């Protein structure tokens, strides 16, 4: 893993995505949540002001709530349109179908679609305060594929801020599995704020364990963790990561 501690995570992630596009990326993996919002803002700015083009690129998503139609204000399909795809020249963005009558069949179909559209060249990720990535809650199989998951009480509480009340937060989701996520050629996780410090410490320096699904990135051959000082504050070896990044060949 490469760990980047920076005051401007959105610039670092946007730089990585711009470089992957320049190197020929054709499939992006998009994440929702507040963590990547500034990155999308920066990518849109680069598109409008610097000519960064997403032409010829398609995208898949990490997850979707079961039971929310794609035009629901809190559906992840809508989130991606609002924060990113409506503002750039990207091709298709394929959302999981949270309204399918048979949600598991929709999840299976989505896993197949990712294989057809993919492989994902660069997958953006956030991390939940309990260490989840996508919606792979603790105890998720490390080799899981896209499937239905039941959200923990903690995740529903964390996400209640986006809904009028906690009762409106769906209990079930379709999420790429950890195995699906790890099929991406480059996984880039962004986290900011003190609330993510424990999750980042567990994902980066804890054991590779289903108890912290984000720790699967230790196993991924090309994972970058981009964090601000607050999210890095519980990393034991932060100084070493800074040293490695500052002395990166080619930097």
State the residues that interact with ligand GLP by CB under 6 A: 31-35, 62-63, 126-128, 134-135, 155, 159
* Residue 136 annotated to the active site: no
CB closer to ligand GLP out of 35 and 224? 35
Catalytic residue among 83, 130, 158, 159: 130
Task: Report which residue's Cβ sits closest to ligand GLP.
Answer: 126
Q: How far is the CB of 132 from ligand GLP (least distance, A)?
A: 6
Catalytic residue among 10, 38, 97, 137: 137
Q: How far apart are CA 159 and CA 219, in angstroms?
A: 28
* Residue 63 annotated to the active site: yes
Q: How far is the CB of 63 from ligand GLP (least distance, A)?
A: 5
CB closer to ligand GLP out of 12 and 127? 127
Q: How far apart are CA 198 and CA 214, in angstroms?
A: 12
Q: How far apart are CA 230 and CA 121, in angstroms?
A: 29
* Residue 132 annotated to the active site: yes
Catalytic residue among 83, 132, 186, 220: 132
Query: How does DSSP classify residue 194?
Result: G
CB closer to ligand GLP out of 118 and 126? 126
Cβ partners under 8 Å of residue 98, min gap 6: 64, 65, 66, 67, 68, 69, 70, 75, 77, 106, 173, 174
* Residue 137 annotated to the active site: yes
CB closer to ligand GLP out of 27 and 35? 35
Cβ atoms of 192 and 227 within 8 Å: the answer is yes
Cβ atoms of 93 and 2 within 8 Å: the answer is no
Nearest-5° Cα angle at 43, 42 to 48? 95
Q: 201: which 2 tokens? A: 């410490």
Q: How far is the CB of 126 from ligand GLP (least distance, A)?
A: 2
Q: How far is the CB of 243 from ligand GLP (least distance, A)?
A: 28
By annotation, the residues acting in catalysis are: 63, 130, 132, 137
């Amino acid at each position: 893993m490469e760990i980047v501690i920076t005051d401007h995570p959105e610039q670092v992630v946007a730089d990585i995505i711009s470089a992957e596009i320049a190197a020929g990326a054709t499939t992006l993996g998009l994440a929702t949540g507040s963590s990547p919002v500034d990155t999308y803002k920066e990518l849109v700015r680069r598109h409008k002001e610097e000519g960064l083009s997403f032409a010829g690129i398609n995208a898949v998503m990490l997850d979707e709530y079961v039971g929310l139609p794609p035009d629901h204000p809190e559906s992840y399909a809508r989130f991606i349109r609002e924060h990113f795809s409506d503002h750039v020249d990207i091709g298709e963005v394929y959302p999981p179908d949270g309204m399918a009558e048979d949600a598991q069949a929709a999840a299976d179909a989505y896993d197949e679609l990712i294989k057809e559209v993919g492989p994902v060249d660069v997958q953006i990720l956030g991390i939940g305060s309990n260490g989840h990535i996508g919606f792979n809650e603790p105890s998720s199989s490390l080799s899981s594929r896209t499937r239905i998951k039941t959200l923990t009480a903690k995740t529903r509480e964390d996400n209640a801020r986006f809904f009028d009340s906690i009762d409106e937060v769906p209990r079930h989701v379709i999420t790429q599995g950890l195995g699906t996520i790890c099929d991406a050629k480059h996984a880039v996780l962004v986290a900011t704020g003190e609330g993510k410090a424990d999750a980042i410490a567990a994902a980066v320096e804890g054991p590779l364990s289903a108890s912290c699904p984000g720790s699967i990135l230790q196993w991924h051959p090309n994972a970058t963790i981009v964090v601000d000082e607050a999210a890095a504050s519980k990393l034991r070896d932060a100084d070493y990561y800074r040293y490695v990044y500052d002395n990166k060949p080619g930097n």
